[in-house]
Amino acid sequence: MQNALSDFSVIHLDWELGPAPIDPSWIHAGNPEARNRVVSRSRDGTSETFLWECTAGSFTWRYDSDETLYILEGEAVLFEGDEERRIGPDDVVFFAAGARVTWRIDNYIRKVAFVRRALPKAAMPLLKVYWRAVAMLRGDR
């Protein structure tokens, strides 16, 4: 991972990924093997960017954070209730914290995932004051 306090970093898509086992109780079929690597982290620790890949199988992912992903290669079918969506290269997908989505990967998939942990509601008024002060100091309106 690049220095988390750097002003920018470059993500190399060919970086080696490490094991990221899927909770066995989430798996419905097959033997999906997931691997990932954290490639960046926000200074406040609320956001991370991952490279993630997974082999064939079916599982229900439980999202504890907001996640936006961009599919680099491969494809999957996503199921939420009665809705079914096929995703593949160049698709961007958003999952809200609390979502439960079943993935079916027939072969392989690789993605970049942008994960954001929501701050407690009690912190929101202070955060709004902070951002207003920053905007005023910058001369924004």
Q: What is the DSSP string of 53-103?
A: EEEEEEEEEE-SSEEEEEEEEE-EEEEETTEEEEE-TT-EEEE-TT-EEEE
pLDDT over 80 at 119, yes or no: no
Q: Which CATH superfamily is domain 18-138 in?
A: Jelly Rolls (2.60.120.10)
Domain ranges of the chain: 18-138
Cα 52–chain centre separation: 9
pLDDT at position 78 is 98
pTM for this predicted structure = 0.78
If you average pLDDT over residues 134-139, what whole number do you get? Answer: 80
CB 22 within 8 A of CB 59: yes
